[in-house]
Structure 1
Amino acid sequence: METDGVPVRTWKGYVWDTWELPPDQRMLLFKVDAFVLTFASIGYFLKYLDQTNVNNAFLSGMKEDLAMYGNELVTSTSIWTVGYVIGQIPSNLLLTRVSPRYVIPALEVGWGIATICTASVASYKSLYALRFLVGLFESGFYPGIHYLLGSWYTPREIGKRAMIFWLAGTVGQLFSGFLQAAAYTNLDGVNGLSGWRWLFIIDSIITLPLAIAGFFFFPNLPQGGKKTWWITEKEHLLSVKRMEAVGRAGKQPLTKQKVKRILLSWHTYVLPMIYIIWNNGGLQPAMGYWLKSFNADPPPVPGTHFSVPEINNLPIPTSAIFIGMALIWGWLSDGLCRGARWPFIYAGAVISLIFSVLLLKMPLYTNIRGRMVVYWLSNIGNGAGPLILSWINEICSDDTEKRALLVAAGNDFAYVVQAVAPNFVWKTTDFPAARKGYTWSIILQILLILITALTQFLLWRDKRRAARSELTFLPASTPESDDDVLENRAGDLEGDRKTSRS
């Protein structure tokens, strides 16, 4: 709906933003959602399935078959993380030079092959080698998709879509439990293979066809100059103009001066820290270990026992509840909060801090139902991650190389910490109590609040300095300013491309 060329906000726009856009933009975004968002979400679902299946396999017989009685599971996760860390930044910078249509599907093929090979491991040392390869090939997918979303969507659109994409991974984690329970029940012993081995085979059979399809359906970047085959020439020009309207820059030469400018920017050091702290401050999935501990000999609670399917299925409500809350956050951030990301970072930190204290102080076995409910609710404050990366995308709109670098750096260095910290604070042998882990989470939630406040202060300071310098054009510094530009231009993308930012 439009009045004198200016869109009028209605309830439909808060449900899904394209309903209020002009027909040409609506059709363009329909195609982008269908090919980019859908492909990315399914791909991340499969990535997370292949990333987390080792935990389900561990609880379903791999521990005993591979003699993983110490901290081998944590070590395998750390080795996966090493591979993940090595590949992220080079992969994301490559996307500024080579089309995502070729880079991202190739990575999927790589981790699909490594996953199917995991079904044949005979020792945890072989598992280590394959988990490294899975991590290496998976490394470019998550930050690469966030960079891609920032290359197609405006501030009033990106938050909810980044959340949908990210939550596809959580659905993968949720589905992995169902899949392992089904594999254990129906395939255990078939063709002489344990149920946990079938899990890796099934995961790879699902992954590889989608990866091959990606070579045909994944898009080029709007700013790359090469039209994607499934949009018209007019839609291609429109996609470029939409990004110009919010100051989303295209590829630039990587000169010494540009590198120096990036290295001297506070963005380079502060923005990734938000994501690093958020990523490592979340509560580890401890409910499965807690349920398995009831089967110890001697049992902590005589007469209480949980089967393998129960150990895999009972933690599932944790993910289901979390998904519902995170979706609400994504819609509120784009809609009622007009692209603001910081309120949800603060809210998530406070909520996660409260649940960390609860799980640290509650007795393990005297209130079984109560602790189970706390486990189910414990992740509701952990939904800020995709909004943080959207915020980085928006703050660094005027420099695509910096944007690609910082989105990847935040995720990359988050996993550097994750490769080390769990060996000390989230040891497998410390579960289910995990007192060091919950204490670690409390500390990081406090740091998350402080680093977010520092970022807001620095953005405010830059805005004041820019106002004093009386520039007529400013690089995007806040998501709110980008959204104001879109509101003012309101579909008049065929006119003057010059915008004023405040």
Structure 2
Amino acid sequence: MTFAKKIRVILWGERPSTHEERKLLFKIDWFVLSFVCLQCVLSVSVRFTSEAIAFRYFSNYLDRANLANAYVSGMKEALNMTGHDFNTVSSMFTVGYTVAQIPQNLLLHVVPPRILFPMNTLIWGSLTMVTAAATNARHLYVIRFFQGVAEASTFVGAHFIMGSWYKESELGKRGAIFSSSAQVATIFSGVLQASIYKNLDGLHGLAGFRWLFIICGLITVPIALYGFFFFPDTPQTTSARYLSPEEKSLAISRLPPKPQTKLDWSLIRRVLGRWRIYAMCLICFQIVGGELESIGSNSLMALWMKASVAPKYSIQNINYYPAGGTALAIVALLATAVWTDYTTKRYQVNFLIAVCMLISSVILLVYTPISTAGKFFAFYLAGVSYAGQASNFGWCNDLARDDDQERSVILAAMNMMSNAFNAWWSIVFFAANDAPRWRNGMISIIILAPILVGLTVGTRILQSRDQRRASRSQGEGQSGLESKDEATI
């Protein structure tokens, strides 16, 4: 193998051996990966040219980010919002998003994804435009709750679909590209909001924040049409015309064989009777690993800069400097994905996250003798915590490949636990008025980092045990067939 070929294999994986599989993989990337990624990324210019196309998940993410921007750009006064109204509006979205996680993702086994995703896209887009007509905070409570319900299948549904099409050696990088798209979205969301507010505020008598919701809603319409006509569902159910009958068969045969399972009452026993949901959802990823993202997910760097007395940062710098952490998150997602697909050891990413977060939190806990450059380093290093979004969802797809319905429930529960747990964790440990230090929050991270290592090791031991049992069963089954053949002869 040449050096160049070896580098290519490390970066993008082994090239399929046949022309037919290479062609199929290209189509999967084009129609599956592009769809879920472009849900996260908004390609837009300030003039909204023909390239201004956004896919639903980023539009949703953009709207959540710009709800805060809209709040400080006139929505507070226009809707007479007082007290904790803004926090309640945000919480209503979280409630809807959380309670709908498992039901929405089980619907993927009843309603074809090419129908469910576009339908939720249109519902979300319509509700976004309706937000522009809200006249009080109570209207926003209802709108945001149902927006959360409509969005519940987007992130987890994308991971489920990717796990249905891609091999274990292909999944990590695709999952990282998808997760990176959400990080890229955070960089551009403020730019789009500023452009809309600057150019459209007052147009036809509408405030800039109302135009923001109208435009974010409108751009979901072509995305819904794209998904309806081109999204290929799963290999077992696809009716995509751009896939030949041979390619549909190959899409199924290239993945490991699995028993036929169905959506019925036995799912409760299958999910709760196995260790996988407890390891992946309750401990290994979201309750521990998810909270290690707290420095980034709670925008602590921006709050620290705003509370800083010396040096004093401008509003512009407060908006721009934290993007360094987002950039490192993207690098960490992609770099660890390359490693995990090459080694097939996704659990190792949790060790990296634990070490980086331990270093970051210790620096920010010590705080006073640390230089400004050292604190910047600590905040940026915390971006590595996001690497678990791709590796742990990919790990879940690997663990539960033998049961599609269980896999769907676990993926949804992982996201559900993240939202439910973070709803109170961030308030207790990372309140905004604790800036600039968050002493209790940093102590919590120092405690959680080694716990993540221990739980990851335990989960890996259970995974290895199940793999050995499966290998023995397969070997015994093969021996039985050979003995039967010999007796027949």
Give TM-score scaled by structure 1 length: 0.81
Change (3 A) 1:373 1:281: closer
For 2:81 and 2:477, the matched residues in 1 are separated by 59
1:74-116 Cα offsets, whole Å, 9 max, x none, are 4433321111111111111121232111011111112222222
Q: 2:11 aligns with which of 12, 15, 27?
A: 15
Q: Is 1:329 matched up with 2:336?
A: yes
CA RMSD of aligned residues (A): 3.0
What is the CA-CA distance between 1:68 and the residue it aligns to? 6.3
2:314 maps to what in 1? Answer: 306
* More displaced stretch, 279-288 vs 461-470: 461-470
Which amino acid in structure 1 is aligned with residue 444 of structure 2? W
Q: Is 1:233 matched up with 2:245?
A: yes
For 2:324 and 2:32, the matched residues in 1 are separated by 29
2:404 maps to what in 1? Answer: 400
* More displaced stretch, 134-143 vs 259-268: 259-268
* 1:137-148 matched pairs, under 5 angstroms: 137-148=150-161
1:264 maps to what in 2? Answer: 273
* More displaced stretch, 406-415 vs 268-277: 268-277
CA contact (8 A) 1:93 1:405 kept: yes
Q: Is 1:454 matched up with 2:458?
A: yes
CA contact (8 A) 1:227 1:233 kept: no
1:434-475 Cα offsets, whole Å, 9 max, x none, are 33433333333333222211101212333455566675469x
Q: Is 1:48 matched up with 2:52?
A: no
Q: Any stretches of 5+ residues in structure 1 without a counterpart?
A: 2-7, 295-299, 475-502
What is the CA-CA distance between 1:334 and the residue it aligns to? 0.7
What is the CA-CA distance between 1:154 and the residue it aligns to? 0.3
CA contact (8 A) 2:361 2:378 kept: no
For 2:71 and 2:436, the matched residues in 1 are separated by 15
1:495 maps to what in 2? Answer: none
1:484 maps to what in 2? Answer: none
CA contact (8 A) 2:332 2:386 kept: no
For 2:132 and 2:381, the matched residues in 1 are separated by 33
For 1:288 and 1:29, the matched residues in 2 are separated by 41
Which amino acid in structure 2 is aligned with residue 289 of structure 1? L
What is the CA-CA distance between 1:212 and the residue it aligns to? 2.5
Q: Give secondary structure in 2 for the equivalent of 1:10.
A: helix
What is the CA-CA distance between 1:248 and the residue it aligns to? 4.6
For 1:437 and 1:22, the matched residues in 2 are separated by 52
Q: 1:176 aligns with which of 189, 197, 209?
A: 189
What is the CA-CA distance between 1:67 and the residue it aligns to? 6.7
1:15-56 Cα offsets, whole Å, 9 max, x none, are 323644311011111111011100111113323223332244
Q: 1:279 aligns with which of 287, 290, 302?
A: 290
CA contact (8 A) 1:322 1:379 kept: yes
Q: Give secondary structure in 1 for the equivalent of 2:386.
A: coil
Higher relative contact order (CA 8 A, sep 6+): 1
What is the CA-CA distance between 1:305 and the residue it aligns to? 5.1
* 1:30-69 matched pairs, under 5 angstroms: 30-45=26-41, 46=58, 47-58=60-71, 62=75
What is the CA-CA distance between 1:185 and the residue it aligns to? 4.0
Change (3 A) 1:29 1:103: same
Q: 1:379 aligns with which of 380, 383, 396?
A: 383
CA contact (8 A) 1:77 1:419 kept: no
For 2:83 and 2:447, the matched residues in 1 are separated by 27
2:53 maps to what in 1? Answer: none
1:471-492 Cα offsets, whole Å, 9 max, x none, are 5469xxxxxxxxxxxxxxxxxx
For 1:423 and 1:372, the matched residues in 2 are separated by 23
Q: 2:24 aligns with which of 10, 24, 28?
A: 28
1:443 maps to what in 2? Answer: 447
CA contact (8 A) 1:56 1:176 kept: no
2:122 maps to what in 1? Answer: 109
CA contact (8 A) 1:272 1:409 kept: yes
1:410-457 Cα offsets, whole Å, 9 max, x none, are 111221212333332333433444334333333333332222111012
What is the CA-CA distance between 1:161 and the residue it aligns to? 0.2
Q: Is 1:340 matched up with 2:357?
A: no
Change (3 A) 1:13 1:367: closer
Q: 2:355 aligns with which of 326, 335, 350?
A: 350
Q: Give secondary structure in 2 for the equivalent of 1:229.
A: coil
For 1:67 and 1:377, the matched residues in 2 are separated by 40
What is the CA-CA distance between 1:61 and the residue it aligns to? 5.5
CA contact (8 A) 2:81 2:136 kept: no
* More displaced stretch, 125-134 vs 150-159: 125-134
For 1:139 and 1:232, the matched residues in 2 are separated by 32
Identical aligned residues as a percent: 35
Change (3 A) 1:182 1:403: same
Q: Give secondary structure in 1 for the equivalent of 2:109.
A: coil
Change (3 A) 1:453 1:111: same
Change (3 A) 1:20 1:223: closer
Which amino acid in structure 2 is aligned with residue 262 of structure 1? V
Q: 1:95 aligns with which of 95, 105, 108?
A: 108
1:152 maps to what in 2? Answer: 165
Change (3 A) 1:318 1:156: same
